[in-house]
Chains A and B, each alone.
Chain A
Amino acid sequence: MSPKTLYDKIWDAHVAHEAEDGTCLLYIDRHLVHEVTSPQAFEGLRMAGRKVHAPDKTIAVPDHNVPTTAGRDNPDQMPEDSRIQVAALDTNAREFGVHYYPVNDIRQGIVHIVGPEQGWTLPGMTVVCGDSHTATHGAFGALAHGIGTSEVEHVLATQTLIQKKSKNMKVEITGKLSPGVTAKDIVLTIIGETGTGGGTGYVIEYCGEAIRGLSMEGRMTICNMAIEGGARAGLIAPDETTYAYVKGRPHAPKGAQWEAAVNWWSTLYSDDDAHFDKVLTIRGEDIAPTVTWGTSPEDALPITANVPSPDDFSGGKVDAAKRALDYMGLTPGMKLTDIEIDTVFIGSCTNGRIEDLRAAAEVLKGKRVKDGMRAMVVPGSGLVRAQAEEEGLAEIFTEAGFEWRLAGCSMCLAMNPDQLSEGERCASTSNRNFEGRQGYKGRTHLVSPAMAAAAAVTGKLTDIRDFH
């Protein structure tokens, strides 16, 4: 048999039909649904008189619009249009009989945090969701990608997706990471190298010693941002770390099925001589704590660097850099560590898990945020929040002057009331620094949780290695 990549293996195990031109029907094992990209899909089903094909493989949770302040299950807390969307999900989930975690359920949270937490996401699966950050689930060695609303409707109706196979790309991070360097810094560095279009047409497998050394939380951070590099999906081969995370979760296999599952999962890796169409290798030792300066995730630099000048670029990027500098209100040549911050956001499906909160709390222990700083922590799920309270992290955050919020997407995309105002500048653990992403004319610098916490204390972008 010819050698296969991890992607090839999962793909081959899910082709339900292949047409002569190579167009496939890919069978979908898990379909995650949230309130923003699904109303039109359910409406389409209803209009065509169709049912959800596999309600048991479909999981719905509201996250993008929900307020993160107390008393939020009172619908009056939401603006009319948000309320209508959340209410539509509620009606659709119940009417079509899918698994559902409503706002007042402790298991509610960001869809990409809830899936793994509840054991819905397992190695070797195909997972889709009407959300580009579905790539997150690739951390388990699941083929996971975002789809549009028409495709959401297609999966609801048929449990398949019309797909053509992508190419294989390997990103290897060799060696060990230096102190202060996290999964977030790895992935920002990768996107800085490849650009936001570098992965277009590919499924990326992340491998190498530095990736193997990451926890599941860290691996999810990496795969989460595969889409920011343009890739259809990111993957990390499952191993003991994966099994340890999955075991015992509510929807994970048990008993004899667990044994059978692990048997199959342990065959899910790229064969030694498997072919990759593109390869990128980065030495773990060369990665520094990383921040973004501009309005694209590819605008990433080591925290020790200076703000670049448009002259440092070529082609269409020159104008994009000019526009970004203007939007961000930055002068070429200034030190990144001189950039003053007024808002800090810790949360999102990139960095809203327990390990992220631990890393931030560790930095904040016994410290206070700078005067005038608006700082908030939004745990990724109700269960993350509960665990953080149990571990005493919540107290550290509130004593440091952070707001301790309820779970949701919050200021990651600012569809709920958590937004930046014009000109405000935020150190954020989320994944997109696009213009207007966190609020009209708001300015976003993407950082790791520890760097976000340090920035809250100093009031500037801060090299975590110099922070005491």
Chain B
Amino acid sequence: MKKFETFTGIAAPMPLVNIDTDMIIPKQFLKTIKRSGLGVHAFDEMRYDRQGVENPDFVLNKPAYRDTSILVAGDNFGCGSSREHAPWALADFGIKVVVSTSFADIFFNNCFKNGMLPIVLPQEQVDLLMADSERGENARMTVDLEAQEITTSDGDVIKFDVDPFRKHCLLNGLDDIGLTLEKADAIQAFEAGAAQARPWV
């Protein structure tokens, strides 16, 4: 996994609540057996009409937002299915950070596994970032994971929380499986105990 480094990018406003994984990546694009190449299909049904022509009103189609790397979204972002195609599509589009008042659990987990950072903030701060993101290209936010800070285009600094273990993995680009396999002894010991206690499993 690539290391998560401090970056400055364009943020796009998506104030809709309950943006679900079917909206982020509709099922017809789940038939791939690869992880890459889904970016062109991100938000497909909002982004294109049936003939594949871009909807000019959709935020990511507007000239100011074509290079968006931060989404500022309404409550409960990523609800619905477990499809990791959702963060794959966002990451492939170039999104590195999603900010919202809350996220669905599985989507939230999936982001970290793909080098993306979902940030939960209180309503007032999301509102502030939402307003900033409405300024398009004129607003460039900086996300510093090490310091746990977002700096708005006006220089306001917003602090955010992140789980220390996940932060460590993102900053160092660590692969979960490799980390877990270092604990192979603990897993084996558990298996031996469980085989005694619950042999029917």
Instruction: List A residues at the B interface (Cβ < 8 Å).
Output: 13, 16-17, 19, 21, 23, 25, 27, 29, 36-37, 39-40, 43, 48, 50, 57, 64-65, 81-82, 84-85, 88, 122, 124-125, 130-132, 134, 145-151, 153-154, 157-160, 162, 164, 195-197, 200-201, 230-232, 253, 257-258, 260-261, 264, 296, 298, 315-317, 319-320, 323, 413-415, 432, 434-437, 440
Contact = CB atoms under 8 A, between A and B. Distances in A.
A434 B76 contact: no
A415 B31 contact: yes
A81 B31 contact: yes
A37 B82 contact: yes
B62 interface: no
Interface in B182-197: 183-184, 186-187, 189-191, 194, 197
A27 B20 CA distance: 29
Interface string B10-52: 0000011110101100111011111100000000010000100
A203 B104 CA distance: 13
Contact of B181 (A13, A27, A157): A157
Interface of B: 15-18, 20, 22-23, 26-28, 30-35, 45, 50, 74-76, 79-84, 87, 102-106, 109-110, 113-114, 163-165, 176-177, 180-181, 183-184, 186-187, 189-191, 194, 197-201
Nearest to A320: B17
The 9 A-B pairs of least Cβ separation, nearest first, read: A253-B200, A150-B113, A39-B33, A316-B17, A16-B190, A81-B31, A148-B84, A148-B110, A146-B82
B83 A37 contact: yes
A151 B113 contact: yes
Given A150-B110, A316-B75, A435-B23, A160 B198 contact: no
Contact of A257 (B26, B177, B199): B199
Contacts of A154: 176-177, 180
Nearest to B15: A316
A230 B104 contact: yes
Nearest to B79: A196
B80 A25 contact: no
Nearest to A134: B82
B166 to A, nearest CB: 9
Contact of B187 (A25, A88, A319, A435): A25
18 contacts: A17-B190, A25-B180, A40-B33, A48-B177, A57-B201, A64-B30, A132-B106, A151-B109, A151-B110, A158-B180, A159-B187, A162-B176, A200-B76, A296-B18, A298-B18, A316-B75, A432-B80, A436-B23
